[in-house]
Amino acid sequence: MFIEVMGGALALVVGVYLWFQWRMRYWADRGVPYASDVTFPVGNDFVAHKKVLLRQTNVAYVVQEQYDRFKTQPFYGAFGPFGSPSIVIIDPTLIRGILAKDFDHFVDRFGDLNPFTNNNAETFTDSIWQKQLLFLKGELWKDVRSTFSPIFTSGKMKLMMHFMKAISLKLTNEMGKSAQGKVPIDLKAIFGKFSMDTIATCAYGVDSGSFLAKDESEFVRNAKSVFTRTAKDQLKLFCSLIPGLNFICKTMKVSFFKPDEAMFFYGAISATIKHRMETQTRKNDLIDLMIDAIHANNKPVEDELKPEDSNQYDQDSRLNHKVKTGAIDELMVVATALIILVAGYDTTAMTMTYCAYQLAMNPEVQDELLAEIDEAMNNLEHGQDFPDYSTIMGMPYLDAVLQETLRIHTPIPILRRVCTKEYKIPGHNVVIPKGSNVTIPVHAIHYDDRYYSNPKEFNPKNFDVNVARQRPPYTFLSFGQGPRNCIGMRFAMLEAKVGLIAVLSRYRFQTCAQTPKDIWRASNTFLGNPNQTLWVQMEAR
């Protein structure tokens, strides 16, 4: 019996291997150049690449290595797990087609890597995660995106200013302790507190207590736990991505993602919503704006941006969609608040961390930024103690410094889309079949010397309006592009700008003995976290 079982298993493995090898002919048969460094059974797709799975390197560097081999091509082929064909788009014009112009062919973000294959979840806590914009697909995604997008327009972001300003005072006080005691600071730790407090206040209506000197609050503990992956979490995630195991887990009502933490945040947001409904109180924070959106009888809210005033990024992000009545409920508010935490906490803290590090390492850039901040502070009107929204949006060098930070240290190294309708690549006799993964190599595009001279150097002049105008569109992609871009882009940029203005109006970043000279992306994370702690010294101005 044992011999028969082993023989059957061996035959199955051999059969799968031979089928895998047959699949390797897919791109060659279609005359498409392709990456041939394939490992059975994971392929060589960025996310499932052997070096990434074994944590030998960060996914961004795998992206870069493949891109450098094919950068003269408009696109090239690759292979996902078990030989599934995927395609990597390099040409910016074709990228615009994927992300915006022909968006109806690429509505979904995840295909075989989406554990909720049919917008379904078997447990209540997983249903919270599943309703996030990150995982939603098709018409339901369009309903949620159309409902909540107007919350993040420029006009609504002005309402967030006083929350961010109040939290920036805590940040500045913390920086002051470093300056007075001449004690180096861990940039990620302190900007993590600022990001956590900002999101907790604006999206949850609570004070997370991040800057408290004593024990962490329950909010902070649960938030940090969301970003911690245990061996059990990794196993459940793996099971969620394998069709057979996924079915078994759902049948057994196994929660794939952080059930305790999801229930905590569900309770926190539900309590806030209930309190405000019962007391008729308003703070004009994100929770109030989201409640307004779902109580507007699910009618689309008019976009504040006028076509003649909006730029290419705004124009391409428009989604003309009529929301179905009853499509949006309170659980969508919880899920959206949770994705603001998941997508906004680490990425914004990381961006501010890298920005401060680059300013310390490039004092001439910091001097120019300080001059712009000083000018804004010196031109405050009577009764003002901080630049208003319009002034902050009119600070081009601050914007350039942050964009250059995001170019070099982009948090998300790739963009992923799924072909939802068969698509013929314009100008080429190549068809992307329905269900195929399409990848945009963001990190590598940001380091392409055809678009950025000396791309490894930190140079905010890359985003001077006259310089940027010379580049093709879709060569800066840190927030994505098109209707499925980052919904919280304005919130994140405003948060970073307010925090940096508050700090740099009183202090400057200086290198110290502990400041690392060479840094790279850590191999144990998909994001762009540094491989070591970034220490700097604060100096009073």
What pLDDT shows up at residue 115?
Answer: 55
Is-contact 341 226, C-beta < 8 A?
yes
List the binding residues for heme.
486
One-letter amino acid of 233? D
Domain presence at residue 13: no
Domain presence at residue 304: yes
- Percent of residues, the chain, with pLDDT higher than 70: 87
Cis peptide before 41 (omega within 30 of 0): yes
Domain count across the chain: 1
Residue 503 lies in domain: 121-142+150-361+492-541
In three-state secondary structure terms, 158 is: helix
List the binding residues.
486
Name the residue with tokens 């407090």: 197
Ranking 25-34, 144-153, 412-421 by mean pLDDT, the lowest is 144-153
In CATH, what number is assigned to the domain containing residue 242?
1.10.630.10
Joined together, the tokens standing for residue 241 give 């991505």
Domain presence at residue 138: yes
Joined together, the tokens standing for residue 213 give 């000197």
Burial class (CB in 10 A: 0-12, 13-18, 19+), 429: exposed
Name the residue with tokens 């659980």: 331
- 339: nearest Cα among 141, 477, 530: 141
Ranking 6-10, 96-100, 170-174 by mean pLDDT, the lowest is 6-10
Domain presence at residue 126: yes
Joined together, the tokens standing for residue 494 give 């405003």
Average pLDDT of every residue of the chain: 87
Domain presence at residue 441: no
The pTM score is 0.91
Domain presence at residue 327: yes
Domain presence at residue 48: no
Query: What digits encode the pLDDT tens for the residues 22-39?
Result: 888 999 999 999 998 888
Residue 79 pLDDT exceeds 60:
yes
Joined together, the tokens standing for residue 89 give 């788009």
Mean pLDDT in residue range 502-522? 96
Mean pLDDT in residue range 33-59? 84
Domain presence at residue 313: yes
- 143: nearest Cα among 292, 319, 331: 319
What angle do helix axes 330-361 and 218-226 make, rounded to 10 degrees?
A: 80
The beta strand positions in 114-218, using DSSP E, are 185-186
Give 465's contacts (C-beta < 8 A, 6+ positions apart): 396
